[in-house]
């Protein structure tokens, strides 16, 4: 009898991977191990992954560095959810003869969550919810969106959707990114401005840029200090786009009204992190893409990639 292929599914926090695809079609050809806890210790991670020929990774939750890949002598295939994964060292994977495949993606989840966070902050929904449950009634006054200005950093697929959402709420839309043109901004219903103008004139600033060496830390104290004291910052893109210490400083000073964050420098967010304790920060655990339709695509595409690989080998 042929040796079974050992498959690992990593970082399935909600323990749902086996419910979003019919893994039984692999039959007796494979043994599947699902890990629902995130391992940050590199030696322990290598020990955990050493037996596996196929590793299925969820976005950028577990990095696949050269050091890690060099130790995984049995690894032949990595399947990553989403169209790209910056935490996989593709050059090293190629050097070690490891194939890397990606799944499809549903693009509606991230902008929908971003708008939900914006609305939640504007109308103080989390606070009012807790107050009602504790016996209080009408303790805050909400912020109107009509007539307000939203500044969008990065006007790609998600940023452009955010612009359309804002226009539907009769907001003024400003946009900036290093290579954004006036024509592209106007096509999205936005006005191209300088970075300084965006931060100083916006009532809401929403970040939608791809993380790279150039964009890392693109939002820093000098930008945040330009914001109105009544303004809000939203980041559902990548944590390191903002210099985290600078954002903490601004929030602790009360220089802006608040921030809504779905992404962080370290994920999962450490238990003692300041963001967990700040009243003017609304946090979610990187759930922009965590939706039923997205997970169907992720895990069903992962399963198909495994089937294709088994057939070809």
Distance separating alpha carbons of residues 107 and 306, to the nearest angstrom = 24
Q: Residue 217: which H helix or E strand, with range? A: none
Cα–Cα distance for residue pair 275/280, rounded to 1 Å: 9
Backbone angles phi, psi at 262, to 5 degrees: -110, -10
Tell me if residue 112 is catalytic: no
Per the residue annotation, which of 59, 208, 238, 257 is the catalytic one? 238
Q: Which residues, at least 6 apart from 224, have a Cβ–Cβ distance to it below 8 Å?
A: 199, 233, 246, 247, 250, 255, 256
Can you tell me the distance from the alpha carbon of 211 to that of 107, in angstroms, rounded to the nearest whole number? 17
Question: Closest Cα to residue 206, out of 121, 275, 289?
Answer: 121
286, 292, 293, 304: the active-site residue: 286
Per-residue H/E/C for 141-175: CCCCCCCCEEEEECCCHHHHHHHHHHHHCCCEEEE
Q: Of residues 18, 112, 128, 267, which has the active-site annotation?
A: 267
Asked about 286 being catalytic, the answer comes back as yes
Active site residue 267: yes
How far from the centroid of its chain's Cα atoms is residue 120's Cα? 18
- Positions annotated as catalytic residues are 238, 267, 286
């Amino acid at each position: 009898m042929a040796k079974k292929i050992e498959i690992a599914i990593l970082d399935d926090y909600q323990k749902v991977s086996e419910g979003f695809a019919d893994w039984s079609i692999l039959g007796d050809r494979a043994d599947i191990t699902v890990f629902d806890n995130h391992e940050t210790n590199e030696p322990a991670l290598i020990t955990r992954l050493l037996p596996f020929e196929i590793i299925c990774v969820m976005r950028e939750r577990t990095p696949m560095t050269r050091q890690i890949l060099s130790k995984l002598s049995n690894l032949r295939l990595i399947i990553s959810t989403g169209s790209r994964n910056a935490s996989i060292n593709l050059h090293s994977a190629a050097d070690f003869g490891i194939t890397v495949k990606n799944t499809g993606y549903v693009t509606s989840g991230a902008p929908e969550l971003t708008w939900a966070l914006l609305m939640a902050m504007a109308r103080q929904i989390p606070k009012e919810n807790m107050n009602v449950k504790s016996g209080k009634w009408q303790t805050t006054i909400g912020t109107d969106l009509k007539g307000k200005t939203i500044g969008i950093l990065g006007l790609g697929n998600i940023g452009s959707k955010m612009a359309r959402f804002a226009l539907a709420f009769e907001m003024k839309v400003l946009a900036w990114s290093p290579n954004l043109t006036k024509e592209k901004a106007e096509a999205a219903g936005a006005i191209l401005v300088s970075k300084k103008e965006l931060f100083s004139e916006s009532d809401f600033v929403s970040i939608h840029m791809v993380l790279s060496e150039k964009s890392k830390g693109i939002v820093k104290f000098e930008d945040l200090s330009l914001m109105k004291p009544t303004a809000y910052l939203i980041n559902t893109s990548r944590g390191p786009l903002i210099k985290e210490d600078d954002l903490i400083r601004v929030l602790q000073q009360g220089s802006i009204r608040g921030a809504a964050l779905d992404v962080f420098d370290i994920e999962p967010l450490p238990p003692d992190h300041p963001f967990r304790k700040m009243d003017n920060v609304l946090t979610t655990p990187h759930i922009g893409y965590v939706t039923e339709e997205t997970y169907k695509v992720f895990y069903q595409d992962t399963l198909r990639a495994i089937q294709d690989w088994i057939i070809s080998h």
